[in-house]
Amino acid sequence: MIQEGTPAPDFELASDDGERVRLSSLRGKPVVLYFYPKDDTPGCTTQACGIRDVYGELRARGAVVLGISPDDEASHERFKTKYQLPFTLLADPQHEVAERYGVWVEKTNYGKTYMGVERSTFVIDAEGDVAQVMRRVKPDTHAAQVLEALPA
């Protein structure tokens, strides 16, 4: 389990534009690292569009936003284009990063149990440490929570 005040586990993943993104290369800036289950589903769309709508304020606070799901780069590119998302989406199809961050969990839906991503966010400070952990976030209030977690 990732704890506040500890170094954020480093990783490198492919982005929606095919580039590789390494978390440690973003040191010097706060990072909003949010995990979501699936592109273009109702809850994930609400969450992503909420972040899109406050993106200017997040950038004004110096933050880099990274969304991670098990979807591939092509799915991310379609999702990003469809909803005009101005931030980077990262592909974690083998859910390795989700597992490292403790968000690949057993879930139950309509009586069926399966493994999937728990909607969670990690605010990482400019030094690379986890400043805040938000587990099981609600899509419609997530953006406001993220803004509260970042210094103005």
Give me the active site residues, please: 44
Alpha helices per DSSP H over the chain:
42-53, 55-60, 73-82, 96-100, 142-149
Number of Cβ within 10 Å of residue 148's Cβ equals 11
Distance CA 4, CA 27 (A): 17
Q: φ, ψ for residue 98 (rounded to 5)? A: -60, -40
Q: φ, ψ for residue 95 (rounded to 5)? A: 50, 30
Q: Which amino acid is at 39?
A: D
Three-state secondary-structure class, residue 13: strand
